[in-house]
Structure 1
Amino acid sequence: MPTSPIPPVAPGAPFAPAPRAPVPAAPAPSRPKGADPERWPDVVALPRASGARTAVAERLVRRALARLPLRVRLADRDSIGLGGPLMDIREPDAFFRRLGAGGLIGFGESYMAGEWESPDLVGVLTVLAGNAAGLVPAPLQKLRRLWALRQPAAQANTPEGSRDNISHHYDLSNDLFALFLDETLTYSAAVFRGFPAERDLLSAAQHRKIDRLLDQAGAGPGTELLEIGTGWGELALRAAARGARVTTLTLSREQQELARHRIREAGHEDRVDVRLCDYRDVTGEYDAIVSVEMIEAVGEEFWPVYFRTLERCLAPGGRIALQAITMPDDRMLASRSTYTWIQKYIFPGGLLPSTEALDRVTTGHTGLRIQRRDSFGTHYAETLRLWRERFGERAAQVDALGFDLTFRRMWTFYLAYSEAGFRSGYLDVQQILLTREDPA
């Protein structure tokens, strides 16, 4: 039986957040010097780009920025924009050359290279995210396949590709993640009681999120629960504390090792089995299935396989509780084959679904049906802010782990970029309850 029930949250309006207090901008990190060309080849060296392509990129970007509530300063040349957060482009020639050659990948690499800065990075990126649909002129949007970089075949989420993709991110270092996550080591959106969120309440907010999922799944004494995507084991721990028996799957050896250690230390080793296993290979039947922000790493071509696996493993009368990051359907359809900065540097093979895509794949390929959705994107923005601030404060410890300045700029950009997506409303996160329509 579920414990500590959380009051239901209306879909689309999870909480009425208090007015958000201004967050002081963290000091901009120093510009990287002497970056390792073997580790960061496309940051150290400017890309090849024709003068014509660079010129076109500069005209388009200038025109787009001039219409936005930003203050864009281009070295000693001029300033454009309607006023707002400052974007300081220190090396315009390099900046526009990167955009001409690589689009948004070049935009992120230019930040990694220190060619542009902002005292309010999240503010700048929030404006850009909120206007994403109109940044590229409509005629060029229709020709996207001609100019946008395509996803590499090597990043496809086959069983072997998924292991490599997951390892790229999650096997960086358990110690690195511990530097900016809270003590629960939970790497997904928390659910807060009010805003602005306080850092010392993050672990409670993570437990609130986990408990809501376990409540939806009906996890309690004797429940056979399958978790797809172990993380570092906190959900499995809380499910075991309820009396459930948990089988949890991960492709990360680092996560498996630490999750097993934490579960053993908590005295739940007899209730939790942490397997190094692809979701496609899982067997058995389970009363409840939970998966937190795992669908984003599956890949569109494998979404039907993923949901058919959930259906195959679900016992009659069972329940599935998912947490998923979503994006607008039209943007997903337009960009689903585009190679992005996030895919190149952070999550190879990743793709965010839309709400409509989840409906299409579950109704088109399975007997699973979505029974309810609870959205809480603003909570993810606050979660990311807390992670970003803590990461910035611990720069010396990140360095001590062997991660250089270019990595720190990359990670800072990733956290700010993600936070901006949720602050602008471009991204959302949902908890989703599914059940199976069994034949009468």
Structure 2
Amino acid sequence: MWGDLHRVPSGPRAQAAGRIADGLFRHAVSRLPVRVEFPDGRVLGDPAAPDAPVMLVHRPRDFTARVGRSGLIGFGEAYMAGDWSAPDLTAVLEVFAARAATLIPGPLQRLRGMVIPKPPGSEKNTTRNTRSNISRHYDLSNELFGLFLDDTLTYSSALFGRDETVPSWDDLVSAQHRKIDHLLDGAGVREGSRVLEIGTGWGELAIRAAARGATVRSVTLSTEQQDLACKRIAEAGYADRVQVDLLDYRRVDGRYDAVVSVEMIEAVGHQFWGTYFRTLDRVLAPGGRVAIQAITMPHDRMLATRNTYTWVHKYIFPGGFLPSVRAIEEITEHQTNLRVRQRLSMGDHYARTLRLWDERFAEHADDVAALGFDDVFRRMWHFYLCYSEAGFRSGYLDVQQIVLDRRDA
């Protein structure tokens, strides 16, 4: 499963790349509020930040060899392999995320296109590839997701109340319902509404829309999610109001009063954003509204990284890419009749959500192992959750609820 992860790069070329990576890493961390400790007692980092988060490098040669071979992919792989660790992984990753655009010296950034790997063609989200890409993440195991998600099985940012700045696990269900209800309100879902949901998840949004008296068609490409969503919808008593289809969003037909989609655009791929929004425009009935929840990144970083193959692509979300708000506005303005009418920024809420998920995942480490997921997978998943939380805490990432309607509405 892990390919060459267990083989440390070797040979003259790997050694040369490792030396370069070592120099770049030392240069980067010498200016950062982070404390990097080595087995021989050496310490790197900004000496003016004595309380900085600690990164423990256990196998320096292996660490730099992996970074030298694969850059930031190798940085994540080195964590998966146990070459380094951190008592507070999110805090360390937040330091790097906050300075992502300047970690590499400016002159070397001009060489980015020559050294950074490109996404493989097999991960481009064509109608042929998309189901496989989705399956690699969402069909891992319903039981796995159930171990760290709350009872709603909602795998997206919650929306916490004003007094829940440091939420507990018991706050999460109501915060997920608050998020869903805010999105349904934005889309105008009410008694008699015809609702299309792109990206079913495990059915909670469809259930809450049906509880309002709407009829719902939900589409997904995950067989695992479709099976469990249908079961949960039936148990909630709404099987007569909700239809869940295993279908690519590009093939949806019909007209709908409301179209909702939660953190689905991230899996579309930047080459198909126009197709995605033209589809929403095509199926939206006159007077209808679209409400999406989208993880976003700064526009300049989006442009700089849109053809980059990353650790997240390789191990978590093949084929995915995050839009900027500006990209969404420009695509909808130039390629559709849809216009952005409302936006709610809630990145800090996602950081809180991810922290609760990661704590829950750690609490259920033995149960994860009992499902057959090994130590490397558990380190990978912990890195993924902390990596994501760090992105939101640093402000590098945001998540938005965006309401759109027609230009002439």
Quick one: distance in 2 between partners of 1:143 and 1:371?
40
Quick one: distance in 2 between partners of 1:61 and 1:435?
47
Which ranges of structure 2 fall in alignment gaps of 5 or more residues?
none
How big is each residue's C-alpha offset from its partner over 1:364-396, in whole Å with a ceiling of 9 and x where there is no partner?
211111011110100000000000000001010
Tell whether 2:380 aligns with 1:395: no
Identity rate of aligned residues, in percent? 60
Quick one: distance in 2 between partners of 1:265 and 1:95?
49
1:190 to 158, 175, 183: 158
Tell whether 2:31 aligns with 1:67: yes
Quick one: distance in 1 between partners of 2:283 and 2:4?
43
Query: In the TM superposition, what are the counterparts of 1:35-54 in structure 2 within 5 Å?
Result: 39-48=1-10, 49-54=13-18
Quick one: distance in 1 between partners of 2:313 and 2:106?
24
The answer for the alignment partner of 1:289 in structure 2 is: 259
TM-fit CA distance, 1:438: 3.8
SS in 1 for 2:166: coil
Quick one: distance in 1 between partners of 2:45 and 2:60?
15
Quick one: distance in 1 between partners of 2:21 and 2:380?
23
Quick one: distance in 1 between partners of 2:246 and 2:279?
17
The answer for the alignment partner of 1:139 in structure 2 is: 107
The answer for the alignment partner of 1:335 in structure 2 is: 305
How big is each residue's C-alpha offset from its partner over 1:391-438, in whole Å with a ceiling of 9 and x where there is no partner?
001010001111111100000000000000001111000000001124
Query: In the TM superposition, what are the counterparts of 1:119-138 in structure 2 within 5 Å?
Result: 119-138=87-106
TM-fit CA distance, 1:42: 2.6
Which ranges of structure 1 fall in alignment gaps of 5 or more residues?
1-38
Quick one: distance in 2 between partners of 1:134 and 1:75?
28
TM-score (norm 1): 0.90
Quick one: distance in 2 between partners of 1:395 and 1:266?
30
The answer for the alignment partner of 1:3 in structure 2 is: none
Tell whether 2:377 aligns with 1:407: yes
How big is each residue's C-alpha offset from its partner over 1:55-109, in whole Å with a ceiling of 9 and x where there is no partner?
1111111010010001101221511102400000011111111111100100000
TM-fit CA distance, 1:125: 0.4
2:141 to 149, 159, 173: 173
The answer for the alignment partner of 2:328 in structure 1 is: 358
- Structure 1: which amino acid aligns with 2:322? L
- Structure 1: which amino acid aligns with 2:94? T
RMSD of aligned Cα (Å):
0.9
2:117 to 143, 149, 154: 149
TM-fit CA distance, 1:51: 2.5
How big is each residue's C-alpha offset from its partner over 1:131-180, in whole Å with a ceiling of 9 and x where there is no partner?
11110111121221001011000000011211000000000000000000
Quick one: distance in 2 between partners of 1:108 and 1:265?
41
TM-score (norm 2): 0.97
Quick one: distance in 2 between partners of 1:179 and 1:140?
43
SS in 1 for 2:4: helix
- Structure 1: which amino acid aligns with 2:356? L
The answer for the alignment partner of 1:55 in structure 2 is: 19
Quick one: distance in 2 between partners of 1:241 and 1:372?
25
The answer for the alignment partner of 1:12 in structure 2 is: none
Quick one: distance in 2 between partners of 1:239 and 1:293?
17
Quick one: distance in 2 between partners of 1:142 and 1:434?
38
Quick one: distance in 1 between partners of 2:17 and 2:77?
18
TM-fit CA distance, 1:361: 1.1
1:316–1:438 CA contact under 8 A, matched in 2: no
Quick one: distance in 2 between partners of 1:77 and 1:41?
33
The answer for the alignment partner of 2:183 in structure 1 is: 213
1:98 to 39, 59, 66: 66
Tell whether 2:130 aligns with 1:162: yes
Tell whether 2:398 aligns with 1:428: yes
Tell whether 2:83 aligns with 1:115: yes
SS in 1 for 2:399: strand
- Structure 2: which amino acid aligns with 1:131? R
TM-fit CA distance, 1:50: 3.1
Equivalenced residues, count: 401
Bigger relative contact order, structure 1 or 2 (CA pairs below 8 A, ≥6 apart)? 1
SS in 2 for 1:151: coil
- Structure 2: which amino acid aligns with 1:418? S
SS in 2 for 1:184: coil
SS in 1 for 2:396: coil
Quick one: distance in 2 between partners of 1:393 and 1:123?
20
The answer for the alignment partner of 1:36 in structure 2 is: none
- Structure 1: which amino acid aligns with 2:149? L
- Structure 1: which amino acid aligns with 2:28? A
1:42–1:109 CA contact under 8 A, matched in 2: no
TM-fit CA distance, 1:363: 1.1
The answer for the alignment partner of 1:33 in structure 2 is: none
Query: In the TM superposition, what are the counterparts of 1:290-309 in structure 2 within 5 Å?
Result: 290-309=260-279
- Structure 1: which amino acid aligns with 2:365? A
